[in-house]
């Protein structure tokens, strides 16, 4: 070995011996501080471990849910569009297309509390107070007919709530019962081809308006009626930005009301032409007694009356069947009214 190579080896060995020893930690990181652990330690177990002290009523939950959750999940937790349904689906788990909701599928209430507390509302996670989370979970239970309207959920009665599908899950023992069957790869008599047996439409995730790539789309000509032309003229006269904002806010109303061509009465009446129309004028809809009385008194849905009603429906009209708690912001109310006016008859 030359003197030059001996020098390189000696220098490298000296550097290695002089380097600090980290016993496998490689000198990275540090122990987490207690407050850092607490910030991440949010999970709540089925036995109640991790559940904070607090409480929330169904009635409070209804109002909070309307403000924070209804835009995606509907006022009655029935879901909006393809956003998840949180209520319904009882006795459907043995169906070909079951509806899996908090009430029909989730085995433990702690999962609901933990998820709402950790991840909701969408885009603004972990902004809810503890009591607000209790109230929202209480309202979700009420929407699934699991508790009464007067129910108040707290850490004291949390474990007393019996979820319908609590016994519908089994221990995952596939490592002992199934994995050994799949150890050998297919080497003979393998399937020649793979066939598509079902489209995602069954799961309600295939957009109806989107055609497959490369597929021809036939669009039938649309015959525009005189009534439709009038609607278009009305929309032009309105502030387009305000109408667009109203369409977005109206998402909170779509669970019960429809507007536009082909609209039908649902839990609430069709709202086409409601602005400046007489109360209770939609054919085929069964109105509540207070609404019928208001119609007999000649009440008209002027912008002022609609604004007062949309602010606090139950305060404005005692006994109304409309369960929506109301819109708090004046600009949202103005936008919704502009949107409804765009559907004048």
pLDDT tens string 92-121: 999 999 999 999 999 999 999 999 999 999
Residue 298 has pLDDT above 70, yes or no: yes
- pLDDT tens, position by position, 21-31: 555 667 888 89
Structure tokens at 40: 């991440």
Per-residue model confidence (pLDDT) at position 132? 97
Residue 148 sits in the same domain as residue 260: no
* Whether the Cβ atoms of residue 279 and residue 313 lie closer than 8 Å to each other: no
Higher-confidence residue: 292 or 20?
292
Instruction: Using the 3D structure, point to which of 160, 179, 211 is the last residue of a domain.
Output: 160
Q: What CATH number has the domain bearing residue 274?
A: 1.10.760.10
Closest CA to 138 of 166, 160, 168, 169: 160
Does residue 235 have a pLDDT over 50? no
What pLDDT score does 6 carry? 47
Residue 55 pLDDT exceeds 60: yes
pLDDT at 9: 45
Q: How far is it, in rounded angstroms, from Cα 140 to Cα 177?
A: 37
Which tokens hold the place of 218?
Answer: 């036939």
- 310 touches 303 (CB < 8 A): no
Q: Which residues contact 245 (CB under 8 A, 6 or more apart)?
A: 331, 332, 335, 339
- Domain end residue (candidates: 107, 142, 160): 160
Q: Is 269 inside any structural domain?
A: yes
Using only C-alpha atoms, what is the Rg of the chain?
A: 30
Q: Given a cut of 50, is residue 54 above it in pLDDT?
A: yes
Q: Are residues 44 and 138 in the same domain?
A: yes
The SS3 call for residue 152 is strand
Q: Indicate if 135 and 233 belong to the same structural domain.
A: no
Dump pLDDT digits (tens) for 154-191.
Answer: 999 999 999 999 999 988 888 888 877 776 666 677 77
Identify whether residues 59 and 140 lie together within a single domain: yes
Confidence category of residue 225, pLDDT binned at 50, 70, 90: very low
Is residue 207 scored above 50 in pLDDT?
Answer: yes
Domain-embedded: residue 1:
no
Structural domain containing residue 249: 226-341
Give, in degrees to the nearest 5, the angle at Cα 102 between 78 and 122.
Answer: 65
Helix (H) or strand (E) holding 57: strand 55-57
Q: Across residues 304-317, what is the average pLDDT?
A: 88
According to DSSP, the residues that pair with 152 across neighbouring strands are 57
CA 30 to chain centre: 39
Which range among 83-87, 102-106, 112-116, 311-315 shows the weakest confidence by mean pLDDT?
311-315
- Between CA 343 and CA 18 the distance in angstroms is 81
Q: Tell whether 325 and 232 lie within a shared domain.
A: yes
Residue 252: inside a domain: yes
242 contacts: CB under 8 Å, gap ≥ 6: 334, 335, 338, 339
Please indicate whether residue 340 or residue 204 has the higher confidence score (pLDDT). Answer: 340
Q: Which residue has the higher pLDDT, 168 or 237?
A: 168
Per-residue pLDDT reduced to its tens digit, 254-271: 778 888 888 888 878 989
Q: Over 70: is that where the pLDDT of 3 sits?
A: no
The answer to whether residue 16 is domain-embedded is no
233 and 320 in one domain? yes
Question: Is residue 122 in some structural domain?
Answer: yes
Which band of pLDDT confidence, cut at 50, 70 and 90, is reported for residue 223? very low
Q: Which pLDDT band holds residue 248 (cuts at 50, 70, 90)?
A: confident
- The pLDDT of residue 163 is 96
- Of 49, 45, 80, 53, the C-alpha closest to 66 is 80
Alpha helices (H) along the chain: 3-18, 34-40, 58-68, 70-73, 109-119, 130-143, 174-177, 226-237, 240-249, 289-296, 303-311, 313-316, 330-341
- Regarding whether 138 and 42 lie in a shared domain, the answer is yes
Question: Mean pLDDT for the chain?
Answer: 81
Tell whether 97 is covered by a domain.
Answer: yes
Share of the chain above pLDDT 90, in %: 37
Determine, yes or no, domain membership for 7.
Answer: no
- Whether residue 191 is contained in a domain is answered as no
Residue 219 pLDDT class (50, 70, 90 cuts): very low
Of 128, 144, 160, which residue sits at a domain end? 160
The whole-number pLDDT of residue 224 equals 44
Question: Based on the domain organization, do 72 and 155 belong to the same domain?
Answer: yes
Number of domains in the chain: 2
Task: Quote the Cα angle for 190-192-198, to 5°.
Answer: 110
The answer to whether 99 and 85 have CB atoms below 8 angstroms apart is yes
Q: How far apart (Å, rounded) are the C-alpha atoms in residues 340 and 338?
A: 5
């Amino acid at each position: 070995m030359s003197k030059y190579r001996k020098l390189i080896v000696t220098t490298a060995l000296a550097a290695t011996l002089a380097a600090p020893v980290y016993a496998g930690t490689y000198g990275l990181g540090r122990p987490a501080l207690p407050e850092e652990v607490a910030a991440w330690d949010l999970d709540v177990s089925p036995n109640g471990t991790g559940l904070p002290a607090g409480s929330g009523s169904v009635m409070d939950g209804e109002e909070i849910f309307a403000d924070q959750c209804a835009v995606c999940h509907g006022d009655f937790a029935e879901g909006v569009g393809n956003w998840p349904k949180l209520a319904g689906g009882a006795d459907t788990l043995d169906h070909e297309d079951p509806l899996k909701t908090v009430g029909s599928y989730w085995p433990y209430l702690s999962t609901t509390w933990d998820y709402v507390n950790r991840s909701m509302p969408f885009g603004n996670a972990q902004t809810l107070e503890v009591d607000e989370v209790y109230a929202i979970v209480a309202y979700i239970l009420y929407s699934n007919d699991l508790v009464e309207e007067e129910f108040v959920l707290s850490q004291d009665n949390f474990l007393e709530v019996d979820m319908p599908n609590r016994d519908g899950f089994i221990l995952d023992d596939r490592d002992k019962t199934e994995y050994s069957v799949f150890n050998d790869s297919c080497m003979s008599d393998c399937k020649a081809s793979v066939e598509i047996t079902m489209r995602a439409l069954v799961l309600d995730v295939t957009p109806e308006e989107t055609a497959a790539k490369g597929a021809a789309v036939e669009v039938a000509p649309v015959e525009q009626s005189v009534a439709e032309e009038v609607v278009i003229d009305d929309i032009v006269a309105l502030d387009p930005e305000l109408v667009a904002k109203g369409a977005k806010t109206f998402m909170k109303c779509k669970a019960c009301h429809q507007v536009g061509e082909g609209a039908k009465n649902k839990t609430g009446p069709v709202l086409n032409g409601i602005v400046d129309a007489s109360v209770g004028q939609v054919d085929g809809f069964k109105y509540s007694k207070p609404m019928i009385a208001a119609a007999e008194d000649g009440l008209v849905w002027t912008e002022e009356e609609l604004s007062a009603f949309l602010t606090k429906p139950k305060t404005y009209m005692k006994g109304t069947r409309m369960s929506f708690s109301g819109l708090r912001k004046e600009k949202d109310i103005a936008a919704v009214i502009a949107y409804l006016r765009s559907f004048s008859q």
